[in-house]
Amino acid sequence: MNLYIGSDHAGYRLKQKILAVWDTETDFKLVDCGTFDESSVDYPDIAFKVAERVKADSALGILICGTGLGMSIAANKVDGIRAALCSEPLSARLAREHNDANILVLGARIIGTLLALETVRVFVNSGFAGDRHEKRIEKIACIEIMMKQGE
């Protein structure tokens, strides 16, 4: 499965670290959606790029900016995207199990590198628990439909 990863300039170094240490033997193939250097870029552009690919591919993604806030706000504008800003592994596991999060968002200026790597590892190795959480995810999708009908 493809795992799309993107960052702005503030998240660039953490993105490169994740790419550098990624175990190529895992089921997830990391696909780098940029940015490709530390020049200033606008996080919504990268958030949209990753979110669209995650949606089209029913895949998972990782987004990184300074705080993780801008990327979260932008990615969650895309229907079908459930982007979760997590700063430790427990939240990352529960974001998958309870919220069926399909994008993990990290704040490179908030979280240390080792904690970020462990948070990513736990996120990709966790899965949606379904059951009572199913109808809540369906209600999120209903909100998206209702918002469109109101347009």
Is 91 a binding residue for ligand RB5 by CB under 6 A? The answer is: no
The answer to whether 103 and 63 are in contact (CB under 8 A) is: yes
x/- map, 3-42, ligand RB5, by CB under 6 A = -----x-x--------------------------------
Is 81 a binding residue for ligand RB5 by CB under 6 A? The answer is: no
SS3 (DSSP) at 12: helix
SS3 (DSSP) at 7: strand
Is 140 a binding residue for ligand RB5 by CB under 6 A? The answer is: no
As a 3-state breakdown, the chain gives helix, strand, coil percent values, each rounded to 5, of 50, 15, 35
- The backbone torsions φ and ψ at residue 4, rounded to the nearest 5 degrees and listed phi first, read -80, 135
Q: How far is the CB of 106 from ligand RB5 (least distance, A)?
A: 11
Q: Which is nearer to ligand RB5, 35 or 99 (CB)?
A: 35
- Per-residue b/e over 66-80, b at no fewer than 16 CB within 10 Å? bbbebbbebbbebee
Q: How far is the CB of 129 from ligand RB5 (least distance, A)?
A: 30
Q: Is 98 among the residues known to form the active site?
A: yes
Which residues, 102 to 121, sit near ligand RB5 by CB under 6 A? Answer: none
Contact set with ligand RB5 (CB under 6 A): 8, 10, 43, 65-67, 69-70
